[in-house]
Structure 1
Amino acid sequence: MSSSFLHSTPEQQGVPSKAILDFIEAAEASPNELHSFILMRHGSVIASGGWSPYAPDRPHMLFSLSKSFTSSAIGFAVTEGLLTVEDHLIDYFPDDLPATISDNLREMRIRHVLSMNTGHDVDTTGFFFERSDEDWIKAFFDVPVVHQPGTHFVYNTGATYMLSALIQKLTGQRLLDYLTPRLMQPLGIEGATWEVSPQGIDTGGFGLNVTTEDIAKLGQLYLQRGQWNGQQILPEVWIEEASSKHSDNGDDPLSDWAQGYGYQFWRCRHNAYRGDGAFGQYCIVMPEQDAVLAITSGVRDMQAVMNLVWAHLLPNMTDEMPLSPDSAASDQLRAKLASLAYAPPQGMTASPLMDRINHQAYTLSENDLGLQSLCFDFDGPDCVVTMDFLSEGKSFREHFSYWSGVQTFSAGLGKWVERAPALEDEEPGIAASLVCLDDQCLLLTLRIFTTPFVYVFACTFTGEQLHMDVDVNAAFGETTFSIIGQQT
């Protein structure tokens, strides 16, 4: 754990250890898979852990939690006098505008872009990938602005991209480079990476990779109203503005997606607010409890995780400090945190099937994973798996990153074997395990531990044919695939 944080026991900060233990056990009993978390109260870490192979000090894809970092960059730009939130967006991009500028587009201000109130009727992001010239800025301006800005909330990742483009336009620096001396270095955030658009602009609304510790640092900075180690990193007025409600996004009292939206932060129930990203990446700030909760995960139901926070953690954050020691619960919590792990699938680690398919390559039918062939090598202590992906196309991109060409990694027989990430080459970290279920079927499980995704390949071999059923724990589209292969 980073030396940037103080550490304390839960009871010293007014939280029973049993409440945290109950939260963990409830999460493990649910169908939603947490990967890591850090809970802070009164400026100290009171619990942290990761379900191996995940860990709080390992990078994880943030998806839309990236937006809260982008919002912070606009806060710095405002502070430095580079722009104001009342400025009109089109004034900064005169060479990228359509031939006819509608009144609504002309009226769009930076605060509308920050608060997802641009006036668009749809998320503009889909239009980016459809554009033949790959000019995302022009694609944004070409989408009709149906509503008067400020009157219609639409979650719009393309709008956040424009904030990143604005920073680059004003400073000549990529968003991440601009944030590094202003936010990353003061908070001790190292090794962050950000995906870029075809124009070389950080994607802004997604694509940032940092650790769970780094998520907690951002939350703690906002909880401390912009102060860090005695210095005012971001002005308090910006923290207040960014975390306040600017857009009305619903009226469901039980939904944490209908409590209002700020400047790239969601308002929550219980007067909390958060940044969040797809499949369960959270930075939850609870001002009334003086607490921050950072979570990475791979879930389909993000509200269910929030419900666990409100049920087990928030109501047990008391004003009484310290609480009376509870040695039994404290010991149980420490033991639980130390043993968090996802066990490898169980099955046979030796089978005639392994000899039968050893070194045999299988050519696969066309599929949405972009996977063309695979081969298993059982000569060593682990199975060496070789997968050949399309050089262009989806190739898992929808889920985490480009995989193109030949990818080779080891899968442990009945255990996990890890391949470290190579983020500079966009190669994710993998923990892989393989077992045989019988003499015809093997199960290959890939935990892509720098992402939310877990892939399970159930491979049935009949003669020279392979039938492969693939299941992924979470995705924007399909989560199951059926692929046919032929021995070559």
Structure 2
Amino acid sequence: MQNQRFDVSGIFLGAIMLVSICSAAAYAQDAVESAWPTKQWPISTPEEQGMDSAALARLVEFGASRSFDSLLIVRHGKIVLDAYYAPYAADIPHITNSATKAVIGTLTAIALKDGLLDSADRRMLDFFADRSVANVEERKKSITVQSLLDMTSGIEWEEPLSGRPVSTIAMELSPDWIKFILDRQMSNAPGDIFNYNSGNSHLLSAILTKLTGLSASDYAKARLFGPLGISTWNWRRDPQGISTGGYGLALLPRDMAKIGYLYLRHGKWEGKPLLPQGWIEKTSEASVNMNSKREPELRYSNFFWALPKKQVYMAVGYHCQVIMVFPKLDIVAVTTARDFCPFSKMADDISGAVKSQTALPPDPAGTNLLAGVIHEISTEKPTEVGATPEIASFISGKTYKFLGNALNVRSLSLTLTGPNPHYELEINNRDPARPPLRFTGPIGLDGLFRKSDPTASGVLAAKGRWLDGQTFVLERRTLGADAPLLKWTLRFDGGTLNLRGSDRRGLEVSITGESGD
């Protein structure tokens, strides 16, 4: 804290400066809010918004080292960086994983604003009086909506921030997710400790449906996505049709930025309040200690993470699906990726790219550097391909069937000749009572991925190459998902196919299929 000086002239001069700064800030705020991105985002150069192009170029390069799919930065209401890493593209919805929770929290806030939810202190079990709930005790009775929002419900749950989400997997395999969550035993009293739990947010999705008569997806369409101009999304549902509360929402990166911009603008959109008074303050000033060993400063509230010392809070999904809000810098940043990322470093790098509150002089060298880096990461580089052997015609169109195996492959058919090379794949469901998953799509044989039509899980991209007269390498990615590249080595020998690939644990396994011809 600076020493106070009782100098009348200094106080008078300081007052004049304060009025000038406040007036300029108010003018800038009015200018920003006069152009809302409901229909489309305004575009600007980084320098026009006081940011350094060369610093942003380094950030884009960092994203390439962390398997980013996109990196977007908005300052003063205008996009200053919009980068997409090939073969991902701007028009493909990206799964947001646990950033879905922040949307559920936002819908809960809207329900409060709409008067549908009377209080965040309302007890959770009040909404499930029609159910017979196991392991009811005083601690479970005292769970509130707010303790769900803060991950302090006390429900016994194993879903560490880094590690196997044991309870979530068990929930996925259960026929009734809400029953699975409600029947859990209690490990702590509500409010005592933070424990990450996707069941909390799924309960809130069910509560929203009880309050509104709509799924969370449909309520979002009416009261959140609609007003913000978001028209493209996918949202998974549980076996009872409830929108998944903990994950499963896919959005375009530019629409993810709109969610952050709503928070940056204090819960208002086009000048109209969508969120209740005090919601943004509680979210941005999160105080629940997440007990993170990697980033001990992390705090939590209303399904948002926060780094208070860095003056940033964020919606966070597994493998760096992130919406960062920097209130002091008037910035929203969005990343989608297929790997983990260091939040503190990213916050520092984004903050460090800010050089001024007002426009900087043009920087041709920095502008060219940034444009070159974006072109580099957005342009797919072809891999080498081998000559097509005679066996390609023999195996094309044949269906190879597999018995139970570590890769869960049920059948595979490749068509590698003719004008439309493609594959058809069946994967056994983790739940044997459910039908197998079917995938089909084109295959690029020129070293470049070919993309399928959009599916509920994303856009499927595949390419392949021949290693020799009998061996074909197939590479597949689901664009818009955080799944890693799937690489299979296929060796054909008459009616037999030997397939080598990595299982869920990353261990290489070999399985054998027969064509039956």
Could you state the TM-score of these two structures normalised by the residue count of structure 2?
Answer: 0.84
Residue equivalent to 1:399: none
Residue equivalent to 1:398: none
- Distance (Å, rounded) in 2 between the aligned partners of 1:360 and 1:308: 50
Matches within 5 A, 1:105-254: 105-123=140-158, 125-131=168-174, 134-250=175-291, 252=293
Report the AA paired with residue 5 of structure 1: W
Residue equivalent to 2:479: 449
Aligned pair in 2 of structure 1 residues 481, 17: CA closer, same or farther (>3 Å)?
farther
SS, match of residue 201 in structure 1: coil
Choose from 313, 337, 356 the match for 1:297. Answer: 337
User: Is 2:498 aligned against 1:467?
Assistant: yes
User: Is 2:304 aligned against 1:265?
Assistant: yes
User: Is 2:454 aligned against 1:421?
Assistant: yes
* 8 Å contact from structure 1 (residues 88, 106) kept in 2: yes
Aligned pair in 2 of structure 1 residues 442, 130: CA closer, same or farther (>3 Å)?
closer
* 8 Å contact from structure 1 (residues 243, 263) kept in 2: no
- Distance (Å, rounded) in 1 between the aligned partners of 2:392 and 2:187: 60
Deviates more, 1:137-146 or 1:240-249: 240-249
Deviates more, 1:378-387 or 1:70-79: 378-387
- Distance (Å, rounded) in 1 between the aligned partners of 2:481 and 2:420: 24
Report the AA paired with residue 115 of structure 1: D
Aligned pair in 2 of structure 1 residues 311, 40: CA closer, same or farther (>3 Å)?
same
Residue equivalent to 2:163: none
Task: Give ranges in structure 1 of 5+ residues lacking alignment.
Answer: 396-401
- Distance (Å, rounded) in 2 between the aligned partners of 1:115 and 1:346: 50
- Distance (Å, rounded) in 2 between the aligned partners of 1:322 and 1:377: 56
User: Is 2:417 aligned against 1:379?
Assistant: yes
Shift of 1:386: 2.0
Residue equivalent to 1:366: 404
Shift of 1:156: 0.4
Deviates more, 1:66-75 or 1:442-451: 442-451
- Distance (Å, rounded) in 2 between the aligned partners of 1:271 and 1:281: 19
Aligned pair in 2 of structure 1 residues 154, 100: CA closer, same or farther (>3 Å)?
closer
Choose from 21, 42, 49 the match for 2:83. Answer: 49
Percent identity over the alignment is 28
Choose from 105, 109, 134 the match for 1:75. Answer: 109
Aligned pair in 2 of structure 1 residues 258, 199: CA closer, same or farther (>3 Å)?
farther
SS, match of residue 276 in structure 1: strand
Aligned pair in 2 of structure 1 residues 405, 461: CA closer, same or farther (>3 Å)?
same
Residue equivalent to 1:411: 443
Deviates more, 1:213-222 or 1:426-435: 426-435
Shift of 1:236: 4.3
Aligned pair in 2 of structure 1 residues 172, 251: CA closer, same or farther (>3 Å)?
closer
- Distance (Å, rounded) in 2 between the aligned partners of 1:70 and 1:468: 42
Choose from 92, 108, 113 the match for 2:127. Answer: 92
User: Is 2:46 aligned against 1:10?
Assistant: yes
User: Is 2:476 aligned against 1:436?
Assistant: no
- Distance (Å, rounded) in 2 between the aligned partners of 1:323 and 1:470: 51
Shift of 1:110: 0.9
Report the AA paired with residue 11 of structure 1: E
RMSD over aligned CA atoms reads 2.6
- Distance (Å, rounded) in 1 between the aligned partners of 2:249 and 2:507: 23
* 8 Å contact from structure 1 (residues 104, 147) kept in 2: yes
Shift of 1:481: 4.7
SS, match of residue 278 in structure 2: helix
Aligned pair in 2 of structure 1 residues 91, 218: CA closer, same or farther (>3 Å)?
same
1:403-426 residue CA offsets vs partner (Å, 9 max, x unmatched)? 83654322010222211114xxx3
Shift of 1:349: 4.8
* 8 Å contact from structure 2 (residues 53, 367) kept in 1: yes
Aligned pair in 2 of structure 1 residues 151, 349: CA closer, same or farther (>3 Å)?
farther
- Distance (Å, rounded) in 2 between the aligned partners of 1:153 and 1:479: 34
- Distance (Å, rounded) in 1 between the aligned partners of 2:132 and 2:146: 19
Shift of 1:464: 4.4
- Distance (Å, rounded) in 2 between the aligned partners of 1:419 and 1:129: 27
Shift of 1:480: 5.1
Report the AA paired with residue 444 of structure 2: G
Matches within 5 A, 1:298-313: 298-299=338-339, 301-303=340-342, 306=343, 308-313=345-350
* 8 Å contact from structure 2 (residues 112, 276) kept in 1: no
Aligned pair in 2 of structure 1 residues 458, 127: CA closer, same or farther (>3 Å)?
closer
- Distance (Å, rounded) in 2 between the aligned partners of 1:463 and 1:246: 64
- Distance (Å, rounded) in 2 between the aligned partners of 1:221 and 1:183: 10
- Distance (Å, rounded) in 1 between the aligned partners of 2:277 and 2:74: 20
- Distance (Å, rounded) in 2 between the aligned partners of 1:94 and 1:225: 35
Aligned pair in 2 of structure 1 residues 92, 314: CA closer, same or farther (>3 Å)?
same
1:306-362 residue CA offsets vs partner (Å, 9 max, x unmatched)? 355245322121235322221022023123324413434322152344245333432
Aligned pair in 2 of structure 1 residues 433, 114: CA closer, same or farther (>3 Å)?
same
In terms of Rg, which structure is larger?
2
Shift of 1:94: 1.1
SS, match of residue 412 in structure 1: coil
- Distance (Å, rounded) in 1 between the aligned partners of 2:137 and 2:506: 37
SS, match of residue 442 in structure 1: strand
- Distance (Å, rounded) in 2 between the aligned partners of 1:405 and 1:22: 40
* 8 Å contact from structure 1 (residues 348, 435) kept in 2: yes
Matches within 5 A, 1:304-323: 306=343, 308-323=345-360
Could you state the TM-score of these two structures normalised by the residue count of structure 1?
Answer: 0.88
- Distance (Å, rounded) in 2 between the aligned partners of 1:242 and 1:24: 28
SS, match of residue 498 in structure 2: strand
* 8 Å contact from structure 1 (residues 127, 140) kept in 2: no
Shift of 1:278: 1.5
SS, match of residue 328 in structure 2: helix
Report the AA paired with residue 408 of structure 1: T
1:354-405 residue CA offsets vs partner (Å, 9 max, x unmatched)? 2453334322242344321212222213422122334x5469xxxxxx9836
Report the AA paired with residue 470 of structure 1: G
- Distance (Å, rounded) in 2 between the aligned partners of 1:266 and 1:431: 33
* 8 Å contact from structure 2 (residues 489, 499) kept in 1: yes
Deviates more, 1:214-223 or 1:339-348: 339-348
Aligned pair in 2 of structure 1 residues 142, 427: CA closer, same or farther (>3 Å)?
closer
Deviates more, 1:448-457 or 1:211-220: 448-457
Residue equivalent to 2:56: 20
User: Is 2:100 aligned against 1:63?
Assistant: no
Shift of 1:487: 3.8
Report the AA paired with residue 62 of structure 1: T
